């Protein structure tokens, strides 16, 4: 069973200079080869994104601009992670339910995924997610 202790905030190396900052993701920053990159932006006020879990895919979320909250559940414990620094990302291993909310104006969320899009890898119903974890209430 996946546990919220497996979640990681990873600091992305930052090169600071009087002209601005550069952050680079390469080599061993995240523990998988990136096979898909996408980003969320122009999120209307009060909207939520996510609302699913992945069976096999891991994701690394980076707040390129602005801020947002990530609500995560392993089926037993829930945790809220606020992301607001472009040099710190959240690594979400497979098997976590996630919802994104409280997007600030102009927020941009970059996602580096461990695999290409496959609908079969998604669990989009929270009850079915709990069943997949053998959790019954």
Between CA 26 and CA 33, with CA 32 as vertex, the angle to 5 degrees is: 65
Phi then psi dihedrals of residue 105, to 5 deg: -60, 130
Residue 73: the pLDDT is: 96
pLDDT in tens, 11-38: 999 999 999 999 999 989 999 999 999 9
Q: Which domain holds residue 125?
A: 4-132
Q: Which of 40, 46, 30, 48 is nearest to 66 (CA)?
A: 40
Residue 84 forms part of a structural domain: yes
Element (H, E) at 127: helix 126-132
Structural domain includes residue 137: no
Tell me the whole-structure pTM to 2 decimals: 0.93
Residue 72 and residue 126 in contact, taking contact as beta carbons nearer than 8 Å: no
Q: Are 129 and 75 in contact (CB under 8 A)?
A: yes
- Give me the number of domains the chain comprises: 1
- Domain at 10, CATH number: 2.60.120.10
pLDDT digits (tens, 9 = 90+) for 81-136: 999 999 999 999 999 999 999 999 999 999 999 999 999 999 999 999 999 998 86
131: part of which helix (H) or strand (E)? helix 126-132
Positions marked catalytic:
52
Radius of gyration of the chain (CA): 15
- For residue 97, being part of any structural domain is answered with yes
1 pLDDT higher than 60: no
């Amino acid at each position: 069973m996946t546990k919220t202790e497996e979640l990681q905030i990873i600091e992305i190396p930052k090169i600071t200079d009087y002209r601005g900052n550069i952050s680079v993701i390469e080599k061993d920053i995240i523990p998988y080869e990136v096979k898909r990159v996408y980003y969320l932006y122009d999120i209307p006020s009060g909207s939520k994104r996510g609302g699913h879990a992945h069976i096999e895919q891991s994701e690394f979320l980076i707040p390129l601009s602005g801020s947002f909250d990530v609500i995560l559940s392993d089926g037993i414990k829930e945790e809220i992670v606020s992301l607001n620094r472009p040099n710190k990302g959240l690594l979400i291993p497979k098997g976590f339910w996630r919802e994104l909310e409280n997007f600030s104006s102009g927020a941009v969320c970059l996602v580096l995924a461990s695999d290409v899009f496959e609908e079969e890898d998604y669990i989009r119903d929270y009850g079915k997610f709990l069943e997949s974890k053998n959790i019954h209430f």
